Amino acid sequence: MAVNEIVRMHEDLDRALKKPVEKRSWGMVIDMRRCVGDHACTVACMAENVCPPGTSYRWVFETEYKSYPNLDRFFMPGNCQQCDNPPCMKAANRHKRGAIEKRPDGIVVFNYKKLSSSRSAMDAAKKACPYYAIVDDRGGYYTENTPKLEPYETRNFFEYGKKLNRKKTKGTIRKCTFCIHRLESGMIPACVSTCIGRAMYFGDLNDPKSLVTELIKKEKVFRLKEASGTKPRVYYIGYKDRANIAISNPASCLVCHQ
């Protein structure tokens, strides 16, 4: 991803925000060839959303492909897939109506108040998610048992556009929101803007001129567990090309990192 691609994503976002919310369709593209496994996206997500210890809305799986002398270690970033057929919503709402909803722009929304009042709804949602994307907020703090809780752990944050703090999310389940609060303020998601490998792209899937739409049309894309019928909104590219870059050298690095 070159600098001009970051600019383009912001331009795509500005164009999307001029449309009614029901005309937008948010989606993410992740290029596995570019991920360097530094977990910057994970840390950025934890800071943006004031996550408790041991919790993040994002993860980066690490695995190895082939063996010596052609060993290739690669990384698989993931987060809530914002499914168009979300199994978590169906499962939770059987126990607590309205606990999980689907926005018209594609984002799956957790109602923390309703979820926290129903352990069965939370457990059902976690069990139903095939992507391990739902985490518990058990109320811990990194600076617990020190002279004071630091402001970065007690500050307000704005998931789903609501003013929240850790007291309001304690005892519930949480997940990636595509940083909807940032989107509606004209900023791309924290993970996308922080990725040093420039492996992630974000935009409006309903916009034929957007970068994400262009990549999905141009590249060989796949979606996680697509056969299960969840209809995820996160697209991956680059996996099928790994055979061509199994041995790292300056030429192979340029395939991804121009």
pLDDT per residue as tens digits for the range 39-93? 999 999 999 999 999 889 999 988 777 788 877 777 889 999 999 999 999 999 9
Residue 217 resides in a domain:
yes
Residue 96 resides in a domain:
no
Confidence of residue 119 (pLDDT cuts 50, 70, 90): very high
Q: Which of 242, 243, 257 is nearest to 75 (CA)?
A: 242
| Confidence (pLDDT) at 181 | 96
Residue 46 resides in a domain:
yes
What's CA 219's distance to the chain center, in Å? Answer: 20
Q: In total, how many domains does the chain have?
A: 1
Residue 167 resides in a domain:
yes
| Confidence (pLDDT) at 18 | 97
Separation CA 106–CA 101 (nearest Å): 10
Residue 103 resides in a domain:
no
Domain that holds residue 188: 3-79+133-256
Structure tokens at 101: 């909803």
pLDDT per residue as tens digits for the range 204-252? 999 999 999 999 999 999 999 999 999 999 999 987 665 555 444 444 4
- CATH code of the domain covering residue 250: 3.30.70.20
Q: What is the pTM of this model?
A: 0.89
Residue 67 resides in a domain:
yes
Residue 105 resides in a domain:
no
Residue 119 resides in a domain:
no
